[in-house]
Structure 1
Amino acid sequence: MRYIRLFVILILAFTCFACNPGSENAERYIFEAESLIDNKPDSALALLDSILYPENLNKEKFNKYNLLRIQARDKSNKDISKDTIIFNVKDYYIKHNDMVNGTLACFYTGRVLKDQKKNKEAMGAYMEAETYADQTINNFNIKGLIQSHIGYLYYNELLQDESLIRFKRAANYFEKAGNYKNEAFSLRDIGNSFLLKKENDSAFYYYQKGLEIADITKDSICQSNIRHNLGLIFKKEGNFAKSKEYLNKAIPFANSSITRAKIYSSLAQVLYSENKSDSAIFYFEKSLKFLKESNDPFLTSRIYESLSMIEEEKNNYRQELEYNKDCINNLYNIYENNENQAILDIQKKYDYELVKNTNNRLLIQRQFLFIILLGLGLTTLIIGFFFYYKTQKNGRELLEA
């Protein structure tokens, strides 16, 4: 009987190990990823992606894994439009009354829906996240993010009054959280909203306020962006000297080719407004060089259109025709890229299903191998037990004889 008990214990231990291999490592990776998520999202994502068969985790850990993974992907600027598993994660946390994680899950549900261009549904998810955040948590950072993204939805619909309310709340929350980087961006967003309302004085005030914080935190993206926007304000007011001053100051902080291309294009537009056509052409061409590194067909088309107008004014009709051709080619590329993107989305979905099916097949094979090994072990043990029993019986019979 003692041997049978030992056999059962060994089988149970082996079963637990085989059904959930590396569970301790998975839990450790999830814990480490959570600590890295804000400052090193790429590292957090690498840790989470190294977990094999996360679906074997228990429900609590599996949902935490998925929530952290979509956070890491979003913060690493990955496409999250296909990460619809967040909908199930949200339902899990709301069902279990975990409002801290539920608030985050609602927010990232909104992010996924926004990337799917379902703005109405995204707004509903953000509003739900706002309700839970106000009732349950004191995390000013997440509250600020929720307000910012609600503001962006209003801003994209040209509802500046509503976006202003949200961006101001976001700036207030980020200030309370001590998150000065995001506060600077929110102040920039307030300035952008006032700029669309054509209230240049208010826009200038918030841009300057945001720029002071950006210069302290040394956030080059914000430093470049706000200076660029200030240059555009002065251009609209006809103060071309000030406009060029801010645009030139924005260039050293530009940390990407597309940002440099946009600034040089704006600088060219200012020079064109000053009737300095040759200088404008020089900066337009400089902008086009940077666009070769980071293609933006919309900006490229606008530049070729401007160059075409300049050449027309100079009666250089042959060159004007060439620039018109380039402009049309870029517009065609925009259409073609949209078509290719639709095909690529279908291919991504197919590839995802293929990988998922491959993983499931490997899991089935592994479980089948485990069953075979278990059967062989059980057979060996039964045979051994039979011979042991027979030997014991023969021994008893000899003793009795």
Structure 2
Amino acid sequence: MNATIYLDHNATTQPTADVVAAMTDTLLHCWGNASSAHSMGGEAKSRLVKARAQVAALLGASPAEIVFTSGATESNHMAILGALTAQPGKTHIVSSTVEHPATLKLLEQLEALGFAITYLAVDEQGRLDPAQIEAALTPQTAVLSLMWANNETGALFPIAAAAQIAKAKAVWFHTDAVQAVGKLEVDARQIPFDLLSVSAHKLHGPPGIGALFVRKGVMLPPLMFGHQERRRRGGTENLPGIVGFGEAAQQLGQTWRADAAHMQALRDTFEQRLMQRFPDVRINASAAERLPNTSNFAFGHIDSEIILDRLDKAGVCASSGSACTAGGTEPSHVLSAMGQPPEKALSALRFSFGSGNTAAEIHQVIELLQGIVEPLLHEMAATA
């Protein structure tokens, strides 16, 4: 196999040619500061305004509700810390056990500082019961923060129900929609979330740029002070990144429905063929509502790193949900939260398809997996 088959789109995506061209043109010809009063500053500001409108349109928002950030980690932190700062009498946060580490690490720090954190549990399919949300919110709750779609399994949370519950209890609601935008309908006019995080590099835009949607009327204080971004996020704007984000958002607004249908067809075909070849394969969160592009699966107790290494050498880029640390590999916190023991969690692989993947690539990958996994299963059977 000569060409690389990239199946790790939940980790990052390739910027499109139009995104790269828009960014390059900005770097070469529009390098003024958008805060400057002269003509070059005016041209920079014009591009900033255009990109803000493009991102807003993708989210069903108004441009004034979009705050550009360095990425989703900053957006998540800005939302949660801002909610606490804006409501100094409230010291309780509700989230879930399967959030992205960018959120969980912040919550750990806040807990160490004395804030009360309630982590909602998921079932064996990665699903969250809305009744848990209602029971967890109290008069002391400053913010409910939930991911829209899980980055490892693709399992979806009941975001519309969560938003309504939070609204009824006058609790701020933030959703990390990094994996949802571009794969599902995300429309601020339809679901009353207060805050929403999005990242450009998951949308065929550049890394290092993201946004936080802040609904009109939500008085979110800044983390970094300055006059930029309507005083909500100080610092000179990353104009090339913002322009690239805007271009990616505009393209996606036109194609995401067709892209999602294409990715789901590939994912479903892959899983069907996988189950035909390997009747004992375990597909995680298969009974949950999932992202259209994500498949998380395992072959018995075979260490996923062995399979991933051999796939990589054959030209296939994929991932697992396990975290590599100095002390070795830790099981996925998501699969652990779903009740899987460490040996099962360590065997999981994640394939996340993109709009550029093809049916021919699916066929190639299935053949490769058969050549890699069958000998490993035989070895395990022989030593059992």
**Superposition TM-score tier, normalisation by shorter sequence:** under 0.3
Answer with 1 or 2: which has the greater Rg: 1
Pick the structure with more strand per residue: 2
Pick the structure with more helix per residue: 1
TM-score, length of structure 2 as denominator length = 0.23
- Between 1 and 2, higher relative CO (CA 8 Å, sep ≥ 6) is seen in 2
